[in-house]
Chain A
Amino acid sequence: NAHHAPVTPSNLCKPRRLYISFSDVGWENWIIAPQGYMANYCLGECPFPLTAELNSTNHAILQTVVHSLDPEGTPQPCCVPVRLSPISILYYDNSDNVVLRHYEDMVVDECGCR
């Protein structure tokens, strides 16, 4: 509908930089490596029409159409992580053993409207 003001690209749904520093949370004496890592998070609009790069599901497309017709009744789809990657952390446990542990889904690589 023509009277919709186009959304400026910068506030579309996409990953935003978020660096987690383990020393900021006071974990630097037991985490050996890394000292921190880029975890990122998702933020942004999922406006009508949903373009291809917004990784949307069919349902999200449907929801944006309904939202454009009834903004009060139905919200926009949510901007959420759709591709994550793992990290490994090297740390000392409570018995001073050295542990290398793999954690899934720790970094947001891609966001999408769902």
Chain B
Amino acid sequence: MELSLQESLLLKSLGLSTKPSPKSPIPVPPVLWRIFQRRKTLPSANKALADGCRVEEFNVPGNIIRVFPDQGHFIHEGQPGRLLCLQKRLYFNLSVLEEGERLTMAQLEIKFSCNSYHASSQGQVFELRLYQSSQMSLRGVPPQRHGRKLLVEQSFAQLHKSLLFNLSGVAKEWRMSSRNLGLILEISVSNGDSDLQRLCASIDSFLDTSLLVVTLSQQQCKASRRRR
């Protein structure tokens, strides 16, 4: 009993309300490994001087970096249209952020675990649209046009690269309004090329999306700033 009390006090001092017990842990995102390893190898004198309340890699204030896996669902079973490859709801549960944390950055990463590269004479192969959803929608029921706001619209050709989008504004809005209805991702192809059609039909199977969020713990960073 005493040990568990001591443990909970220690966890609390580390900013954790309870002892985590991961159920289906995901692989550690490479970006977090890189930041962790870089900090770990800093000489001790540099560590003490480094501003622990700032994430140099993104040049934003922050002492906590989280990567949220996507918990959304595909809106259609299979390919929604001949040129429309996928329509997917993206949802990131930010409720784990504690009240005393200020969100300073949110970056969406869209990755395709496929290494194919489709050279097309026009150069524009895939078209991506990202919407902020303002309406709930059920599986199989396409979202109403007026229930969403276009955030990003762009073309890309290479599937083996990560696409990064700055969603800091949207994430801050989710937190302020406590109304997080997620995003809607649409990917379509620009023409009916047969190879392209084949890729389009299977793109949903190698899509991987995650949201990296940086927050600043007012409690832990304010104290250190006063001392500095």
Contact: B48 with A98, CB < 8 Å?
no
With contacts A27-B19, A100-B64, A104-B220 taken as known, whether A85 is within 8 angstroms of B96 at the C-beta atoms is: no
- Across the interface, A96 reaches (CB within 8 A) one of B15, B26, B32, B63, namely B26
Interface presence of B143 (CB below 8 A): no
Which parts of A78-114 form the interface with B (CB within 8 Å)? 83-105, 107, 109
A85 to chain B, nearest CB (A): 4
A51 shortest CB reach to chain B, Å: 22
Q: Does the CB pair A86–B96 fall under 8 Å?
A: no
State how many residues of chain B have any CB contact under 8 Å with chain A: 39
Given A25-B7, A96-B22, A102-B44 contact (CB < 8 Å): no
CB–CB A86/B52 < 8 A? yes
Instruction: Mark contacts of B1-43 with chain A using CB atoms, 8 A cut-off: 1 yes-contact digit, 0 otherwise.
Output: 0000001000000111011111111101100110110011000
B96 near A104 with CB under 8 A, answer no
Number of chain A residues whose Cβ lies closer than 8 Å to a Cβ of chain B: 32
In this assembly, does A32 line the interface, its C-beta being within 8 Å of a C-beta of chain B? yes
A19 within 8 A of B: no
Q: Is the CB of B64 within 8 A of A102?
A: yes
Q: How far is the CA of A107 from the CA of B39 in the complex (A)?
A: 14
Tell me, yes or no, whether A75 is within 8 Å of chain B by CB: no
Tell which of A89, A94, A105 touches B96, judged by Cβ atoms closer than 8 Å.
A94
Evaluate contact between A102 and B52: CB separation under 8 angstroms: yes
Given A30-B21, A83-B48, CB of A90 within 8 Å of CB of B68: no
Neighbour of A98 across the interface among B19, B53, B66, B93, CB < 8 A: B66
Of B14, B19, B67, the residue contacting A97 (CB under 8 A) is B67
Q: A99-B66, A100-B35 are in contact. Are A109 and B48 (CB under 8 A)?
A: yes
Q: A98-B28, A102-B63 are in contact. Are A33 and B36 (CB under 8 A)?
A: yes
A33 vs chain B, min Cβ distance (A): 6
- What is the chain A residue whose CB lies nearest that of B36? A90
Interface residues of B in 61-87 (CB under 8 A from A): 63-69
With a cutoff of 8 Å between Cβ atoms, the chain A residues found around residue B53 in the complex are: 102
Nearest chain A residue, comparing its CB with the CB of B13: A103
Report whether A88 and B18 are in contact in the complex, using a CB–CB cutoff of 8 Å: no
A29 touching B22 in the complex, CB below 8 Å, given contacts A93-B96, A102-B64: yes
Using Cβ atoms and an 8 Å threshold, which residues of chain A touch B50?
Answer: 86
The reply to whether the CB of B47 lies closer than 8 angstroms to some CB of chain A is yes
Docked Cα-Cα span, A87 to B20, in Å, equals: 19
Chain A residues with CB under 8 Å of chain B are 25, 27, 29-30, 32-34, 83-105, 107, 109
Report, nearest first, the 9 A-B pairs whose CB atoms are least far apart. A92-B22, A30-B20, A85-B47, A102-B63, A85-B48, A100-B65, A102-B52, A100-B32, A86-B52
Extra contacts, 9 of them, besides A88-B40, A98-B25, A101-B14 (Cβ < 8 A), are: A29-B22, A84-B48, A86-B50, A93-B16, A96-B24, A98-B26, A98-B28, A102-B52, A109-B48
